[in-house]
Structure 1
Amino acid sequence: MADLYETHVTAELSPDLTEPELAELRWHLGLGPRPGRLVIVVDGWPVVTADEDGEPLPEDRWESDAYPLLAQRGPADPRIGGIAFAGLTRRDGSPDQARWALSARQVIHPDDGWPLDQLLAWMRRRASGHHGGPPEVRFHQRFHEDGPSLTDYLPGAEPGDGGEA
């Protein structure tokens, strides 16, 4: 049986995200193609070391097997219930002041932990607040066998290990 987590992410992101950051963020959310170069989540991906026939590849042909982290759409795994979604939109305001609003509800496996931690840490660094308020990033996870309560925790912490916010 797989370990699955219901995962909610909301963030208010800086209006000055770069085009490479936006391209990768849109890809992670399932809203655009994979960019040629990743600038947010740069390591921790599985490495492909064999060809499609299972034959080992020379080390100079190994490549990372990056995938979008928050791109699920439609019915979520039945153990979680509900639907999976992700969205990113620009808030109203002048272009230099209009923040990016992000929301996602996904089903995450623990193997996605390190890449997801990198994405969440980037969001924290790029978060902004409303009218100079504190940066706004929310991240909640619930193990699929737990009850309906949500647990806040910081990127890199495991639920229940004292890293809760």
Structure 2
Amino acid sequence: MADIYELVISLDLRADLSREDIAELRWQVGQGEAPEDELRLGRGYVAIVEDEDGELICTDPQPFLGQDGPAWKIDGMLGSRLEETAGGWRLEARQEVHPEDFEALEGLLVWLYRHVNFGRVAADGSVEIGRLRWYEDLESQALLIRDDCVFWP
């Protein structure tokens, strides 16, 4: 048994993103190089691995939404895209995540919430930022954010 979830994000973001924001988002989805300055949207995944001498080392940060190719536990393919549209930016992502990574992901998700196209905001101020599905479930559940707080299903 595994604790793997499918995370699907499909968002329209506003057109007022800065060049720095776009560069970092491109890195977060695996479409660009890591910014040279500090990552503002979260460090991404950092793993501890053993080197050839048996020493434990930390890896460089990896993009939160950078998985690409066949999924490990959920059927189908993983991937992410950030594209400019006539009214702003479109982010599409399908990733596998572990519950231990939820807290690390929150910084990126809250940042997306703050930059989402105003048409996606519900009357109570919440935004369905994506969908989450445990790999054995048939139905996904809404991943909501309101007032900078992520409500995990």
Q: What is the TM-score when the length of structure 1 is the normalising length?
A: 0.73
Q: SS of the counterpart of 1:154? A: strand
Q: How many equivalent residue pairs?
A: 143
The residue number in structure 2 matching 1:71 is 66
Per-residue CA deviations over 1:12-70 (Å, capped at 9, x if unaligned) read 1111111221111111101001112211125x86586x98745589xxxxx88421011
Contact 1:127 1:137 in 2 (8 A): no
> Aligned pair 1:90/2:84, yes or no?
yes
Q: Structure 2: which 5+ runs fail to align? A: 122-126
Matching of residues 14-163 of structure 1 within 5 Å:
14-36=14-36, 37-41=38-42, 46=46, 53=53, 65-77=60-72, 79-92=73-86, 98-129=87-118, 133-135=119-121, 138-146=129-137, 148-154=138-144, 156-159=150-153
**Structure with more strand by fraction:** 2
Q: Could you list the structure 1 runs, at least 4 aligned residues long, displaced by more than 4 angstroms after superposition.
A: 44-48, 50-57
AA in 1 matched with 2:111: W
Q: Distance in 2 between matches of 1:9 and 1:33?
A: 21
Q: Distance in 1 between matches of 2:52 and 2:24?
A: 27
Q: SS of the counterpart of 2:151? A: coil
Instruction: Describe the shift of the 1:137–1:10 C-alpha distance in structure 2 as closer, same or farther (beyond 3 A).
Output: farther
Q: Displacement of 1:144 after TM fit? A: 1.0
AA in 1 matched with 2:140: L
Q: Distance in 2 between matches of 1:113 and 1:100?
A: 24
Aligned-pair identity in percent equals 37
AA in 1 matched with 2:33: P
Q: Distance in 1 between matches of 2:55 and 2:69?
A: 36
Q: Structure 1: which 5+ runs fail to align? A: 58-62, 93-97, 160-165
The residue number in structure 2 matching 1:163 is none
Q: Displacement of 1:71 after TM fit? A: 1.1
Question: Which protein has the larger Cα radius of gyration, Structure 1 or Structure 2?
Answer: 1
AA in 2 matched with 1:38: L
Instruction: Describe the shift of the 1:53–1:20 C-alpha distance in structure 2 as closer, same or farther (beyond 3 A).
Output: farther
Q: SS of the counterpart of 1:10? A: strand
Q: Distance in 1 between matches of 2:101 and 2:51?
A: 23
Q: SS of the counterpart of 1:25? A: helix
Contact 1:85 1:104 in 2 (8 A): yes
